[in-house]
A and B are shown apart, each in its own frame.
Chain A
Amino acid sequence: MKEFLIGKLTLESLPHEWFTIGGSAFFGLLTVALIVLLTVTKRWKWLWKEWLTSVDPKKIGIMYFIVAGFMLIARGGLEALMMWLQQALGASDMPGALGAAHGYLSADHFQQIFTAHGNIMVFFVAMGFIFGLINYIVPLQIGARDLASPFLNTLGFWLYVAGVVMVNMFFFFGGQYAATGWLAVAPLSGTQFSPGVGMDYWIWSLQISGIGTTLGAINFIMTILKMRAPGMTLWKMPAFTWGSLCSMIMAVTVFPLLTATIFLIFFDRYFGTHFFTTTLGGDPMMYTNLIWMWGHPEVYILVLPAYGVFSEIVSTFSRKRLASPISNIIGMIGVALFALSVWLHHFFTMGAGADVNAFFGVMTMIIAIPTTVLVFTWIATMYKGRIRFTTPMLWFLGFIAVFTTGGITGVMLAVPPADFQFHNSLFLVAHFHSNVIGGVLFGVFAGISYWFPKLAGFRLNERIGKYAFWCWMIGFSLSFIPMYIVGLMGATRRLDTYDAATGWQPFYVLMLIGGIIIAVGVALQLVQIIASIIEKRRLRDVTGDPWDGRSLEWATASAPAPYNFTTIPRVTTRDAFWQMKQQGLAKPKYEDILMPKNTASGIYISIFAFLMGFGFVWHITWLAVVSIIGIIVCAITRTFNEHTEMTIPAAEVEKQEAVRLKRLQDEHDSAPGKPAAADMADDMGLREFIKIVAVWAWNVVRNRQWRTWQKR
């Protein structure tokens, strides 16, 4: 009876190790603090109405940023630091603690950490940030009011959140995550060798969020192909939209492969099938083949929007049109096309032989060419431009340095006989981190600092932003250049301890120092945001176009109204907004606007999806069945609902615009100085920031100011 009710859950499943107690305490306290804050400030209804059930892609975009940023710091980044520390302490002549032979992490725990680090960074940090950017910026760039399906948008977001919750669930129940590496290769990931629930958490967190990604990708494709402003042909679309289109077409192509493969490994574990087992006809190598068919295009899915971001930034801050927009587009399409023909380079050493390896080796080398075309286009754009070294531009330059290193080492790895030496060494790890951090993460940071004025209505503090950038550059170099070297010296990946006689420890210590500097950089990025909020009046973006941009998103207010544009613009050229500025902006004509209503269906379906996954993880069959029925019922209720839109009458639009303009005028009149062109040299520095925060905190505590933080 007990087994029917709660499956394989027992008292033993509750937290009882130092890291599960720590983790669940952290999340528990955080949740409690949030609940208290919301209750004391009476903001529950506001949160539900304005944010959680919103279908506005701008709001959903910001929510993606918040969740992804949180996962970057609280999980992915923390795990990286833990690994750096363990490896610095893990030489065979060092003492051990907390159950580890050397260092402080036991071998099994270390394996869970590198698995979680990879999963979280790829699926929940990188994908989250990318989806946030695309959600916010693409509709603005193409002159649309919303995505094609607002419901799919919110559903996709909440499925992503369900995946996030699932990947953190093991702290509370089960105490272990998968210890198989981030792609959980068979047969290690089968029941025989990974009997615990950790692997099942892996399956369901990725499966649920993966389906959310697929739905989101379909939505973005529908939007970009069918909802562009009149006159905007595909060739006239801005570069970020192009990058997003190519990326999402790839996502829609390969995420179904991941979904199917994860179902198969789930069947092996849950029903005892023999797809990837070592007995009764199963073939573990097929798993490796299938999972990398997804895995390789995934990294291009992540980097293509970043290429788009950099194209926008390099042209804006060189004050020049992109050197060759067609080359740019062709480069992106080229990357997307070839991405599906190289996946075997991840398992050259598995034994397919020279014929197969040769084909995929050559294809891998070819794929370097479109990217090179892009890099040269960007450099050509800078040539004879009038460059402004703002923070976004610095991130771009950092990207050029770091990503190119990654790319070149990638071509080295593409040579199959050489790869037999490099495979699964730290050389490989340094390569892909150069690409993912230098390409994707720097792209995200560049994009966020570039579009921040649009999102928030005020720009970011440039001074602290530059400190943060340099911490990242120096920290990254100190961490990953030694990694290339020690990889060539023979250090393999995923090592928790190693023979002290190898002489690798000094390198690991250097890497740890680099990691700490990166952590300082992250802290400075948070400080940057807070400092900008403190100075927001001074940094306010009044015109909506703080950088003298070229594309349509700069034609809206900062932050844009819910409906983005009062009237959909008519486009005649590439760099549509630039053209409008030359010709003089037209007077707005107000009309009725049809907008989608908020909906909680996405939340409900995702809750059921989460419960279904939890039921499968713990073999609580009734829970899984009931949840599946719940998903179906909610989906039917939503899709047969014929009243999902509402109209904002033209008079209301005019009123809102008038209010907005008046508010900006009032602020401009009340504050001294010229907020529109706030000089970057006057931005707050670190010392001033610390003083201001200390004084504020002291005041809050002394005067019990939290009582006044209710909703205005």
Chain B
Amino acid sequence: MADMAEAIESAEISHEAAANDRVMFGFWVYLMTDLLMFAVLFAVYAVLHGNTAGGPGGKELFSQQQALAETLLLLTSSFTCGLGMIAARRGNKSQVLVWFGLTFLLGLAFLGLELREFAEFVREGHTFSANAFMSSFFALVGTHGLHITSGLLWMTITLIYVLKRGLNKHLVRKLALLSLFWHFLDIVWIFIFTIVYLMAFV
């Protein structure tokens, strides 16, 4: 009887492990498709960023310090997210809430700075529809910002469920997927920082 229970349990575990592995892999493939969407936006930016139709370009509009601040905020949030995952795998609910809470705040600060930058551009008349450069800037950076926003929403809901249901295996998997997503967003940001913000000053 005990043997059978053990056999069933190990069959369940390996089914669960296989399912986990599948989901992580499937999400990874989805992240690759997301990367490819960004590739189009990068290609469009590369081709159109010089077309300001006489208006100001990146050199005139961007603030180097702000871009650095945003980068550091997001990078740190990626770090705290990783620490949160370690806590999740150890089953430590309070640490999970602390680290992911910190990730959320840092991400929110990033978003705040970005929205402030966008608002400033819009106020000065450099809107989404001003010229090809602004269109491709907002499309690329804005899409990244939208992803960050979805990530923050996802984080909020997951943490609420962690509070309500406790840290069960299902939620640990959710957090693992979320942290994949969050790390990936930081990696995309590396290239936005380099190609949009730094390259404007080269």
Contacts and interface: CB of A to CB of B under 8 A. Distances in A.
Direct A–B touching, Cβ under 8 Å? yes
Interface of A: 148-149, 152, 214, 218-219, 221-222, 225-227, 252-257, 259-261, 263-264, 267, 271-275, 277, 279-283, 286, 290, 594, 632, 636, 639-640, 642
Given A253-B36, A256-B36, A274 B132 contact: yes
24 contacts: A218-B26, A219-B26, A221-B29, A222-B25, A222-B26, A222-B29, A256-B36, A256-B40, A257-B39, A261-B40, A273-B128, A273-B129, A273-B135, A273-B138, A274-B51, A274-B132, A275-B48, A279-B53, A281-B51, A283-B48, A290-B40, A632-B153, A640-B174, A642-B170
B90 interface: no
Contacts of A632: 153
B180 interface: no
Nearest to B49: A281
User: Closest 9 CB pairs between A and B?
Assistant: A281-B51, A281-B132, A260-B40, A273-B135, A272-B129, A256-B36, A222-B26, A256-B33, A260-B37
B191 interface: no
Interface string B32-75: 11101111110110011001110000000000000000000000
A26 to B, nearest CB: 37
Contacts of A254: 36
Contacts of B38: 260
A249 to B, nearest CB: 9
Contacts of B122: none
B175 to A, nearest CB: 12
A636 B157 contact: yes
B131 interface: yes
Nearest to B132: A281
B131 A280 contact: yes
A272 B128 CA distance: 8
A148 B26 contact: yes
B128 A226 contact: no
Nearest to A640: B161
A225 B30 CA distance: 15
Contacts of A214: 33
A252 B44 contact: no
Contacts of A282: 48, 51, 132, 135
Given A222-B25, A275-B132, A640-B174, A256 B43 contact: no
Contacts of B52: 281
Contacts of B48: 275, 281-283, 286
A152 B40 CA distance: 25
A253 B37 CA distance: 10
Interface string B8-22: 000000010010011
A257 B40 contact: yes
A218 B29 contact: yes
B136 interface: yes
Contact of A273 (B34, B37, B39, B139): B139
Contacts of A253: 33, 36
Contacts of A225: 25
Given A261-B40, A640-B174, A252 B29 contact: yes
A573 to B, nearest CB: 24
B35 to A, nearest CB: 8
A261 B44 CA distance: 10
A221 B29 CA distance: 9
Interface of B: 15, 18, 21-23, 25-26, 29-30, 32-34, 36-41, 43-44, 47-48, 51-53, 128-133, 135-136, 138-139, 153, 157, 161, 168, 170, 174
Given A221-B29, A226-B25, A271 B128 contact: yes
A282 B15 CA distance: 53
Given A148-B26, A264-B139, A252 B32 contact: yes
Contacts of B15: 594
Nearest to A219: B26
B173 to A, nearest CB: 10
Contacts of A277: 132
B8 to A, nearest CB: 9
Nearest to A632: B153
Contacts of B139: 263-264, 267, 273, 275
A226 B41 contact: no
A283 B129 contact: no
A274 B26 contact: no
A275 B40 contact: no
B52 to A, nearest CB: 7
A642 B128 CA distance: 41
Given A271-B128, A271-B129, A642-B170, A283 B29 contact: no
Nearest to A286: B47
A255 B129 contact: no
A221 B26 CA distance: 8
A149 B44 contact: no
Contacts of A639: 174
Given A260-B36, A263-B139, A271-B129, 13 more contacts: A214-B33, A218-B29, A219-B26, A254-B36, A259-B37, A267-B128, A267-B139, A273-B128, A273-B129, A281-B52, A281-B131, A640-B157, A642-B168
Nearest to B169: A642
B37 A256 contact: yes
A263 B133 CA distance: 17
A280 B21 contact: no
A222 B22 contact: yes
B127 to A, nearest CB: 9
A40 to B, nearest CB: 43
A253 B41 CA distance: 15
Contacts of B37: 256-257, 259-260
B132 A280 contact: yes
A275 B135 CA distance: 7
A642 B174 CA distance: 11
A469 B128 CA distance: 54
A226 B129 contact: no
Nearest to B12: A594
A640 B25 CA distance: 19
Contacts of A642: 168, 170
B41 A255 contact: no
B22 A226 contact: yes
A196 B139 CA distance: 24
Nearest to B138: A273
Nearest to B177: A639
Contacts of B29: 218, 221-222, 252
B53 A280 contact: yes
Nearest to A636: B157
A152 B51 CA distance: 41
Contacts of B128: 267, 271-273
Nearest to B19: A148
A71 B131 CA distance: 40
Q: Which of B22, B40, B153 has the most CB of A within 10 A?
A: B40
A596 to B, nearest CB: 11
Contact of B30 (A218, A267, A274, A640): A218
A286 B45 CA distance: 11
B33 A275 contact: no
Contacts of B36: 253-254, 256-257, 260
Nearest to A261: B40
Nearest to A282: B132
B36 to A, nearest CB: 4
A277 B26 CA distance: 37
A260 B136 CA distance: 12
A148 to B, nearest CB: 5
Contacts of B43: 290
B51 A283 contact: yes
Contact of B130 (A221, A275, A280, A640): A280
Contacts of B131: 274, 280-281
A161 to B, nearest CB: 22
B87 to A, nearest CB: 20
Nearest to A290: B40
Given A226-B18, A252-B32, A275 B44 contact: yes
Q: Which of B26, B30, B38 has the most CB of A within 10 A?
A: B26
Contacts of B32: 252
